[in-house]
Amino acid sequence: MTGLPRAGQGPVVVVGGGVVGLCTAYYLAEAGLAVEVVERSGLGSGVSRGNAGWVCLSHSTPVPAPGVVRYALRSLGRPDSPLYLRPLPDPAFVRWLWRFWRSSTPAAFRRGYSAIAELNRDTFALFDGLREAGVATTLTRPGMVHAFLSPTEARHHLAIQRQMADDHYPMPDDVTTGTEAHLLDDALSPRVRAAYLVEGEGVVDPEAFARGLGEALAATGVKVHEHAEVMDFRTAGGRVTAVRTTQGEVPCSAVVIAAGMRSPRLLHALGHRLPLQAGKGYSFSVDLDPAPRHTLYFGERRAVASPIGDTTRIGGTMELSGNNNRLDWRRIVAVALASRHYLGRWFDDPDDLVSLIRDPWVGGRPFLPDGLPVIDRLPGHDNAFTATGHGMLGVTLGPATGHRLAEYVITGRRPDVLAPFRFDRLRH
């Protein structure tokens, strides 16, 4: 193929300065290519900002899992449910749900999981490489405690996770139950009756990680255009020759569209449809005493807590209610209430939350209906690529995505590990 960036035709332009775009720009620049990043706002200001920062192997699964649709249907009209579906009279949304449902068979789930696990295999090595190259990744690996109110749920969960890990990474043999369970992390409440620790799982401060990547890019001479929105592309003979931004044109030898939830409108400008829906999630920061030392997963309520900087970030919910960034305070309260089962009574009255929490935040996880990202060259365009749809896994998979996609852009050959993330799988 002749999709390689050609000398003398300008830099590779990466559209989107979220974790996926920044990692891709990093590996392209590391390989010696001229690179420019165009970001409509500030680097790391999209959904890469307020997330839980997990970098993990044990929770890296596609969302369309067996039973998830039944679970979602039970949430109809219950905005306090961890997975909340608000049906929209929009044919694209209905089509997306239909395809999501079809992707939640055990066989499709296993295929999706294997594809993600394969891509994820080098994740921690890549984070180590970034750190050794001087990038302030902020990664620590305190391990992840899975906490449950019921031993039955915990055992069920561990059995599934052990099966998926398949000895590729260490999982505990059994669940700690009874009064010992909450001792796995100082922050857990005695109401936690079953828990297990998956050692080695990591966490970053996502804003600081994006900053670190931005600084590394600047140090290698990558030009970053912030507050410049890409509106359109100039094309000639099946190649993109320039991106048109609100600050003018940037000529390019190749383009990578990594614009998160806004990728579909850019892909549309190149003649492609991408069925992306936002899986809205919420987070906020709070000072807990004692604060968690590990990342925490609250099993029955599917909420999470992460030690980030010197504070605790609590997050959760998956809201399929259209592509908007409206913050619904009831969902913040629902996440806080869910966490109280596991962390103890850190507030008495939901009204107290206004003064206790900082930075209430909502972000739309970019989701394709089969729960896998798309990391590919665009059909019909020699030098246009895209990487988006990372759903719940953009921080974990950012470096692996960037590393493999850079290889694809540079060599023109799709690495085998990216085959499950092809664009053309989304056609039917």
Residues that bind ligand FAD (CB under 6 A): 15-21, 38-41, 45-48, 51-54, 229-230, 258-260, 262, 266, 281-283, 315, 363, 365-366, 388, 390-396
Of 16 and 420, CB closest to ligand FAD: 16
Closest CA to 298 of 384, 378, 394, 191: 191
Residue ranges with strand state E in 221-380: 223-225, 230-236, 239-245, 248-251, 254-257, 277-286, 295-298, 303-308, 311-320, 358-367, 374-377
**Spatial separation of the C-alpha atoms in residues 198 and 143, rounded to whole Å:** 6
Q: C-beta of 395: minimal distance to ligand FAD in Å?
A: 3
CA distance 221 to 231: 25
Nearer Cβ to ligand FAD (5/315)? 315
Helix (H, G, I), strand (E, B) or coil at 338: helix
Q: What is the Cα–Cα distance from 185 to 102, expressed in whole angstroms?
A: 39
Specify the 3-state DSSP secondary structure of 62: coil
H or E element in which residue 268 lies: helix 263-269
Return the number of the residue (48 or 176) whose C-beta is nearest ligand FAD.
48
Q: Give the closest residue to 262 by CA, choosing from 78, 26, 40.
A: 40
Q: Minimum CB separation from ligand FAD for residue 1, in Å?
A: 25
Give min distance, CB of 232 to ligand FAD, in A: 9
Instruction: Please report how close the Cβ of residue 412 comes to ligand FAD at its closest, in angstroms.
Output: 23
Decide: 188 and 195 in contact? Cβ < 8 Å.
yes
Closest to ligand FAD by CB, 10 vs 21, is 21
Nearer to ligand FAD, 384 or 392 (CB): 392
Cβ closest to ligand FAD, residue 279 vs residue 420 = 279
User: Of 158, 246, 150, 229, whose CA–CA distance to 194 is shortest?
Assistant: 150
Smallest distance, Å, CB 159 to ligand FAD? 23
Pick the closer one to ligand FAD by CB: 139 or 393.
393
- Residue 275 to residue 164: CA distance in whole angstroms: 28
Q: Strands 202-203 and 358-367, how do they pair?
A: unpaired
Q: Cα dihedral sign for 262, 265, 268, 273?
A: positive
Minimum distance from CB of 279 to ligand FAD (Å)?
Answer: 7
Q: Is the CB of 14 or the CB of 181 nearer to ligand FAD?
A: 14
CB of 259 to ligand FAD, least distance (A): 4
* Residue 397 DSSP symbol: H
- Tokens at 79, concatenated: 């905005």
Going by C-beta distance under 8 Å and a sequence separation of 6 or more, which residues neighbour residue 100? 64, 69, 369, 370, 371
Closest distance of CB 13 from ligand FAD, Å:
10
**Which residues does 66 contact at the CB level (< 8 Å), separation at least 6?**
104, 105, 106, 109
Dihedrals phi, psi of 16, to nearest 5 degrees: 115, 120
Q: Which is nearer to ligand FAD, 142 or 260 (CB)?
A: 260
Write out the two tokens for 138. Answer: 């902020």
Which residue of this chain has its Cβ atom nearest to ligand FAD in the complex? 18
Q: Least distance (Å) from ligand FAD to the CB of residue 283?
A: 5
CA distance 29 to 8: 16
The least CB distance from residue 46 to ligand FAD, in Å, is 2
Distance between CA atoms of residues 192 and 195, nearest Å: 7
How many Cα atoms sit within 13 Å of 168 on the Cβ side? 14
Shortest separation between residue 357's beta carbon and ligand FAD, angstroms: 14
Q: Compare residues 181 and 375 and give the one whose CB is closer to ligand FAD.
A: 375
In terms of CB distance, is 97 or 116 closer to ligand FAD? Answer: 116
